């Protein structure tokens, strides 16, 4: 059966695995490795060859208290920094788990062969990153980010792919998952997916489905994210009636290359680089007297945006900031930051060992996502109570466990994805041993997951994908950026609601079944749109400023009313609140205080 | 992009693009697509392809990171393999024309998309993963900075396929000659002080095809978008094979 036919459950072929992982990035391949090594019949469904996943673009490193640079480093200090960085809406049980399990997960990566940079003692090289401290903020800057030059994500992703080859994981490479199949109990029992090359379509049945589809930075016009970051898992979850959490929280990375949007690692500032305005002033000294250029990302991004707004931007149009590295000397720049040197030359035409790099805050990371517990199990909220969705797991950027809260610290995303990819794998392995009994999906259940595809295939008129995408991206860029205001957000929401109908009724002109990228882009657009609308509505709903969410009508953090997660369902477009977990297991909870750097 | 730039700052560029959809076309053909590109700044070949796709949505090619690190968009640009996303038009456009074909030597799936199966099959043959027999320590294995430096120029490979698909030896024997990309990976693990399977790896290369079909043509070196040197890696393996005690 081919993807361009009228597809029905009755004639649809079925493929069956013990566990399936949707997404072949870091989180997905860490989960699949765990399952494959435990002998379960495991398949990774990835819309690109796994090493093309966006984890490959992570540069600076993976933050973890492995006590290489500082033998006295303590995971509890890392936990403190992460809680503070999250502006106190990160779940402390999850952060505790990530920071304390982290060293194990990082050493495992090294054992698999990850080519970390090394210290003279032969241990893993660590560099300072933003928002890091010793002794619970009292001991000055820490040096905690483990690095493979400035290609840590590339090294990590390739290492995990290699380890999965060794473990015998099944790879369904260049297969696109369209929607999840839910049985009548509301449990997830697999996905509909097709092989992009040939268009062969299947119901892929499984007792455990892990969503590891990454982020959705492409809802914005300017982003560091790969073109494939289209929020496929978020779209699938929202359509299946599963909520998203804190999706209003989008990180703008301080240093995207002006014009191109490509990332320049925070490791540049970790190695001693700093930001300058048009007067040649190190302006971060004014905004963050202690941490300066290594304050957390939301703080640095806002400071840069203010400098530009107040007319102190660099260049002819005063629309960017300079990142200076030349004082570090060519030795450090070329040895520690070879990838940055390459990217700066290609996309900005400058050699950072000689000239500053023009940078602007650029959409980078989705802190929110599908709510999960620390085992990766997806959670929904019913009448104010958490409830586990049977058969469904999520890990990595698509998930909101939540370790990043309102603002993620640099180097914590790679740690998040290995720790919780691994945790989901361990939990699934255990639950399979106990036995998993889920009701089979009926033809009706399966047909529901085919609706979107059938509709697109039947389209004979309607708007083009590219037109709708550009309209949405401009809307999000202009109305839901670093600074947010009520009027603009309301205007943005209105425009999105006008566009929704057109997105659901797009025209797919090319109906070919063979590697049809137009069909993929149309399906991706519908996923992006779900993320954009969820972002817009939850952003307007959160009436305070916290972490990356900053609005002029509510400039302060409001712990009395908003020390809460936002929970959003797309069917009702309603936002509710969910308690933040302040119950770590082995340490005292960190109480919210004024956040300064 | 074209909508936001004033007309006087645009110029036309003719792209001649290889088109083939086996479910529709009897045979491949070259299609001319005229796009408008800015005069005051350089754009990448991938940006130009996006502009062409705006006109012809059925045009198919792979792309992901758009910054030269994921290896999706290897293709043949005016006769030379390269990554579309990091190749500026100024480097490749000749007489206002740009010819784009799929990477040579592999079966075409559709338009600029080739079937990479043979490429990845050869990669898997070199066991591209760390092999150790000794127990893992509690923390990381140690490796000196000098030992780690041996991996520079090797671990950065992005598996784009530009090298192997520009290699005449690979065109002739894609099933028997491993090709520059796989051999670079083979050396990446042989050169790793932590790997404990050097002999096993060398044994697997002791036939007349796997490695020895490399004739030092060095197309691989001239096209590698990451500036890596597979020919050197191959000669390092060769030396190791010759010098080891039997």
Q: What is the mean pLDDT of residues B26-40?
A: 95
- Chain B residues in contact with A263 (beta carbon < 8 A): 67
- Chain A residues in contact with B86 (beta carbon < 8 A): 346
CA distances from A285 to A24, A128, A149, A267, B192 (A): 41, 18, 27, 18, 43
Other CB atoms within 10 Å distance of the CB of residue B13: 19
- Chain B residues in contact with A524 (beta carbon < 8 A): none
Residue of B nearest to A58 (CA): B69
Instruction: Answer yes or no: are the C-beta atoms of B76 and B102 closer than 8 Å.
Output: yes
Of B182, B35, B186, B56, residue with least CA distance to B112: B56
- Chain B residues in contact with A465 (beta carbon < 8 A): 57
CA distances from A394 to A159, A516, A528 (A): 21, 28, 18
Distance from CA of A448 to the nearest CA of B (A): 28
- Chain A residues in contact with B145 (beta carbon < 8 A): 117-120, 122
HSE-CB of A355 using CA atoms within 13 angstroms:
10
Residue of B nearest to A221 (CA): B1
Ramachandran quadrant class, A140 (left: phi over 0; alpha: psi -120 to 50; beta: rest): left
Contact B148 A197 (CB under 8 A): no
Distance from CA of B9 to the nearest CA of A (A): 17
Other CB atoms within 10 Å distance of the CB of residue A385: 9
Pairing of strands A399-400, A370-371: parallel
Q: For residues A449 and A178, give the distance between their C-alpha atoms in angstroms, rounded to a whole number.
A: 8
Distance from CA of A112 to the nearest CA of B (A): 6
CA distances from A312 to A269, A438, A478, A495 (A): 20, 60, 21, 33
Res B40: pLDDT: 85
Coil/strand/helix, residue A260: coil
Four-CA torsion A418, A421, A424, A426, nearest 10 degrees: -60
Res B2: pLDDT: 38
Nearest to B71 among A51, A119, A121 (CB): A51
- At B1, the pLDDT band (50, 70, 90 cuts) reads very low
Other CB atoms within 10 Å distance of the CB of residue A28: 32
Contact A57 B115 (CB under 8 A): no
Q: For residues A519 and B143, give the distance between their C-alpha atoms in angstroms, rounded to a whole number.
A: 48
Read off the tokens for A117: 């940079």
B2, B52, B59, B65: best to mutate for the A interface, most A CBs within 10 A = B65
Burial (CB < 10 A; 0-12, 13-18, 19+), residue A108, is middle
Residue that the structure tokens 């940078």 belong to = A359
Residue of B nearest to A262 (CA): B67
Instruction: Answer yes or no: are the C-beta atoms of A157 and A436 closer than 8 Å.
Output: no
Distance from CA of B151 to the nearest CA of A (A): 8
Contact B57 A165 (CB under 8 A): no
Q: For residues B144 and B130, give the distance between their C-alpha atoms in angstroms, rounded to a whole number.
A: 17
The residues, any chain, with a CB within 8 Å of residue A437's CB and separated by 6 or more, are: none
Q: For residues A376 and A367, give the distance between their C-alpha atoms in angstroms, rounded to a whole number.
A: 16
Read off the tokens for A71: 């033998």
Residue of A nearest to B129 (CA): A162
- Chain B residues in contact with A227 (beta carbon < 8 A): 63-66
Q: For residues A396 and A571, give the distance between their C-alpha atoms in angstroms, rounded to a whole number.
A: 25
Residue of B nearest to A227 (CA): B64
Phi, psi (5° rounding) for residue B60? -120, 135
Res B246: pLDDT: 61
Contact A51 B124 (CB under 8 A): no
- Chain A residues in contact with B144 (beta carbon < 8 A): 118, 120, 122
- At B3, the pLDDT band (50, 70, 90 cuts) reads very low
The residues, any chain, with a CB within 8 Å of residue A481's CB and separated by 6 or more, are: A220, A252
Instruction: Answer yes or no: are the C-beta atoms of A405 and A246 closer than 8 Å.
Output: yes
Contact A464 B192 (CB under 8 A): no
Instruction: Answer yes or no: are the C-beta atoms of A130 and A171 closer than 8 Å.
Output: no
| Paired strand residues for A380 | A387
Of A255, A207, A520, residue with least CA distance to A362: A255
Read off the tokens for A506: 């797009």
Residue of B nearest to A168 (CA): B124
Of A475, A27, A511, A546, residue with least CA distance to B57: A511
**For B117-176, what is each residue's pLDDT tens digit?**
999 999 999 999 999 999 999 999 999 999 999 999 999 999 999 999 999 999 999 999
**For B53-89, what is each residue's pLDDT tens digit?**
999 999 999 999 999 999 999 999 999 999 999 999 9
Nearest to B109 among A112, A166, A515 (CB): A515
Contact B142 A115 (CB under 8 A): no
Q: For residues B150 and B143, give the distance between their C-alpha atoms in angstroms, rounded to a whole number.
A: 11
**For B34-45, what is each residue's pLDDT tens digit?**
999 998 889 999
Instruction: Answer yes or no: are the C-beta atoms of A23 and A214 closer than 8 Å.
Output: yes
**How far is it between the farthest Cα atoms of chain B?**
71
Contact A110 B140 (CB under 8 A): yes
Instruction: Answer yes or no: are the C-beta atoms of A374 and A416 closer than 8 Å.
Output: no
Res B244: pLDDT: 86
Known catalytic residues of A are: 297
Distance from CA of A465 to the nearest CA of B (A): 9
Contact B64 A342 (CB under 8 A): no
Read off the tokens for A398: 């698509």
Which 8-state DSSP code applies to residue A402? S
- Cis check for the bond before B86: say yes or no (omega within 30 of 0): no
Res B245: pLDDT: 67
Coil/strand/helix, residue A81: helix
Read off the tokens for B13: 């560029």
Q: What is the mean pLDDT of residues B81-98?
A: 95
pTM above 0.90?
Answer: yes
Which 8-state DSSP code applies to residue B85? G
Q: For residues B238 and B234, give the distance between their C-alpha atoms in angstroms, rounded to a whole number.
A: 6
**For B202-211, what is each residue's pLDDT tens digit?**
999 999 999 9
Instruction: Answer yes or no: are the C-beta atoms of A196 and A178 closer than 8 Å.
Output: no
Mean pLDDT of chain B: 95
Nearest to A512 among B24, B128, B143 (CB): B24
Other CB atoms within 10 Å distance of the CB of residue B53: 21
HSE-CB of A206 using CA atoms within 13 angstroms:
28
Could you please report the per-residue DSSP string of B105-140?
TS-EEETTEE--HHHHHHHHHT--S----SPPPSSP
B3, B70, B111, B126: best to mutate for the A interface, most A CBs within 10 A = B70
- Total residue count of chain B as it appears in this document: 246
* Pairs from B108-111 (Cβ < 8 Å, separation ≥ 24): B108/B18, B108/B20, B108/B28, B109/A197, B109/A514, B109/A515, B109/B22, B110/A512, B110/A514, B110/A515, B110/B20, B110/B21, B110/B22, B110/B60, B111/A515, B111/B17, B111/B18, B111/B19, B111/B20, B111/B21, B111/B59, B111/B60, B111/B61
Low-confidence ranges of chain A (pLDDT < 70): none
**For A49-76, what is each residue's pLDDT tens digit?**
999 999 999 999 999 999 999 999 999 9
Res A580: pLDDT: 98
């Amino acid at each position: 059966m081919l993807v361009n036919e009228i597809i029905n459950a009755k004639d649809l072929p079925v493929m069956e695995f013990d566990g399936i992982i949707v997404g072949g990035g870091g989180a997905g391949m860490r989960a699949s490795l765990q399952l494959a090594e435990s002998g379960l019949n495991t398949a990774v469904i990835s819309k690109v060859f796994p090493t093309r996943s966006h984890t490959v673009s992570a540069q600076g490193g993976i933050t973890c208290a492995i006590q290489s640079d500082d033998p006295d480093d303590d995971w509890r200090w890392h936990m403190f920094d992460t809680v503070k960085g999250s502006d106190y809406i990160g779940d402390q049980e999850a952060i505790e788990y990530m920071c304390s399990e982290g060293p194990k997960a990082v050493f495992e990566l090294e054992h698999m062969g990850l080519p970390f940079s090394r210290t003279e003692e032969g241990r893993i090289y660590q560099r300072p990153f933003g928002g890091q401290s010793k002794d619970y903020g009292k001991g000055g800057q820490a040096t905690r980010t483990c690095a493979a030059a400035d290609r840590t994500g590339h090294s990590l992703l390739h290492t995990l792919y290699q380890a999965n080859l060794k473990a015998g994981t099944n790879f369904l490479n260049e297969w696109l998952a369209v929607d999840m199949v839910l049985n009548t109990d509301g449990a997830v029992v697999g996905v509909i997916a097709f092989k992009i090359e040939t268009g062969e379509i299947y119901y892929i049945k499984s007792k455990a489905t892990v969503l590891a589809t990454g982020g959705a930075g492409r809802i914005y016009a300017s982003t560091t994210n790969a073109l494939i970051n289209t929020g496929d898992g978020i779209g699938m979850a929202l359509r299946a009636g599963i909520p998203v959490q804190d999706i209003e929280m989008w990180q703008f990375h301080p240093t995207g290359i002006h014009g191109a949007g490509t990332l320049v690692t925070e490791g540049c500032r970790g190695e001693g680089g700093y930001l300058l305005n048009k007067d040649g002033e190190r302006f971060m000294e004014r905004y963050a007297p202690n941490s300066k250029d290594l304050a957390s990302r939301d703080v640095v991004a806002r400071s840069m945006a203010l400098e530009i707004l107040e007319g102190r931007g660099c260049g002819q149009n005063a629309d960017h900031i300079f990142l200076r590295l030349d004082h570090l000397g060519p030795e450090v720049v070329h040895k520690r930051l070879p990838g940055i040197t390459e990217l700066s030359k290609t996309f900005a035409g400058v050699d950072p060992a000689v000239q500053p790099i023009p940078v602007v805050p650029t959409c980078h990371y989705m802190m929110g996502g599908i709510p999960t517990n620390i085992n990766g199990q997806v959670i929904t909220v019913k009448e104010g109570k958490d409830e586990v969705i049977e058969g469904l797991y999520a890990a990595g950027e698509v998930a909101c466990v939540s370790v990043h809260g309102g603002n993620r610290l640099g180097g914590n995303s790679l740690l998040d994805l290995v720790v919780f990819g691994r945790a989901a794998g361990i939990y699934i392995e255990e639950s399979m041993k106990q036995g998993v009994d889920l009701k089979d999906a009926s033809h009706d259940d399966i047909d529901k997951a085919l609706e979107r595809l059938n509709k697109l295939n039947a389209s004979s008129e309607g708007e083009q994908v590219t037109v709708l995408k550009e309209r949405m991206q401009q809307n999000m860029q202009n109305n839901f950026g670093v600074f947010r205001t009520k009027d603009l957000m309301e205007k943005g929401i209105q425009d999105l609601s006008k566009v929704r109908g057109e997105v659901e009724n797009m025209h797919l002109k090319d109906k070919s079944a063979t590697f049809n990228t137009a069909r993929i882009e149309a399906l991706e657009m519908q996923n992006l749109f779900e993320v954009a609308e969820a972002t817009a509505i939850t952003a307007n709903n959160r009436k305070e400023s916290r972490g990356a969410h900053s609005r002029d009508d509510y400039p302060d953090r409001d712990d009395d009313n908003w020390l809460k997660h936002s929970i959003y369902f797309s069917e009702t477009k309603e936002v509710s609140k969910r308690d933040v977990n302040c119950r770590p297991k082995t340490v005292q909870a960190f109480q919210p205080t004024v956040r300064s750097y | 992009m074209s909508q936001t730039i004033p007309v006087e700052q645009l110029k036309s560029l003719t792209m001649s693009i290889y088109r083939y959809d086996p479910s529709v076309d009897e045979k491949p053909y070259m299609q001319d697509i005229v796009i408008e590109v800015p005069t005051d700044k350089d754009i990448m070949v991938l940006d130009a392809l996006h502009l062409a796709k705006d006109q012809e949505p059925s045009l198919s090619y792979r792309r992901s990171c758009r910054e030269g690190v994921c290896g999706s968009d290897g293709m043949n640009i005016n006769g030379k393999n390269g990554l579309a996303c990091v190749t500026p038009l100024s480097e490749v456009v000749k007489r206002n024309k740009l010819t784009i074909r799929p990477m040579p030597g592999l079966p075409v799936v559709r338009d600029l998309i080739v079937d990479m199966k043979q490429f990845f099959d050869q990669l898997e043959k070199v066991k591209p993963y760390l092999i150790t027999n000794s127990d893992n320590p509690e923390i990381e294995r140690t490796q000196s900075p000098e030992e780690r430096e041996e991996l520079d120029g090797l671990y950065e490979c992005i598996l784009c396929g530009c090298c192997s698909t520009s290699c005449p030896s690979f065109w002739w024997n894609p099933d028997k000659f491993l090709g520059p990309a796989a051999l670079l990976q083979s050396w990446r693990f042989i050169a790793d002080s932590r790997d404990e399977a050097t002999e096993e790896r060398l044994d697997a290369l002791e036939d007349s095809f796997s490695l020895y079909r490399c004739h030092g043509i060095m197309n691989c070196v001239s096209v590698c978008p990451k500036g890596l040197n597979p020919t050197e890696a191959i000669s390092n393996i060769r030396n190791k094979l010759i010098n080891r005690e039997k």
